[in-house]
Amino acid sequence: MTDRLVQLEQLTVRFGDRPVVDHVNLTVNRGDILTIIGPNGAGKTTLIKTILGIQRATSGKVLLTPGLVIGYVPQHLSLEATLPLSVKRFMMLSGRSASECEAALQRTGVAHLLEASVHHLSGGETQRLLLARALVRQPDLLVLDEPAQGVDINGQAALYDLIRELRDELHCGVIMISHDLHLVMAATDKVICLNQHICCSGHPADVSHDPAFIETFGNQVAESLAVYHHHHNHKHNLHGDVVNGNEPHGACDHEHH
């Protein structure tokens, strides 16, 4: 398989007369971590649903590398509340073997919840379960819609650490949607600022200076991101604490100058 996984050419999606995604050109390569940001209603979820084939394009092209395997982590897990469903059973619905399912849960740090009800999981546990379900497919491309949704602040850094590790292990591409702009600065290689069309794109530190970004998010946000640095020579445990060796050392430092 080539390094190019997805290519969008002049992709447009209209709902009635309203363009929700407007003439978007985008390439995602193996090894990329690309994060889509933008205001509410900007078309972010519609864009990834079009890549997934859930939403039909009005015009333009979605070119996927032949044989591409996509692992999708949706924004919400919608299950019938009265349906008894354990973590093990939920994973087995993927059609993979029990050992493959358990290995994926182990990798995302929630293998101890194998017999737990999916209805009783915390936000962070649910996201790790959804990530395990995507991981068990051995994807070439991971697509994550707000992966830190419902995760407390201490667990978010650990979750983004895990996503980066999975990118390296699988040598896959990653597309994320995120509203947390400061986490984007630490977690991604490239940012796409979407507001129906692509306003600006590039490395996070460069995008924060772009006039289109400032117009979309305001001077205060842009200035705070422009001086943002994440010194990432450490790892986070499941609680978000910094771990050097085997000892946790509290929350991750983010320096502002």
Q: Which amino acid is at 242?
A: V
Model confidence at 225, pLDDT cuts 50, 70, 90, reads low
For residues 120-152, one letter each, b for 16 or more C-beta atoms within 10 angstroms of the residue's C-beta and e for the rest, the string is ebeebbbbbbbbbbbbbbebbbbbbbbbbbbbe
- Per-residue pLDDT tens for 168-189? 999 999 999 987 777 777 778 8
Beta pairing, strands 190-195 & 197-202: antiparallel
Would you state the pLDDT for residue 224? 66
Return the bridge partners of 230, or none: 254
- Per-residue pLDDT tens for 131-150? 999 999 999 999 999 888 87
Query: Among positive and negative, which fits the CA dihedral 115, 119, 123, 128?
Result: positive
Per-residue pLDDT averaged across 232-238, rounded? 53
pLDDT of 30 > 90? The answer is yes
- Per-residue pLDDT tens for 34-62? 999 888 888 999 999 999 999 999 999 99
Q: Identify the residue with better confidence: 214 or 92.
A: 92
Domains of the chain: 4-69+139-256 (3.40.50.300), 79-138 (no CATH)
Supply φ then ψ for residue 237, to 5 degrees: -85, -175
Would you state the pLDDT for residue 115? 94
Entry pTM? 0.82
Model confidence at 242, pLDDT cuts 50, 70, 90, reads low
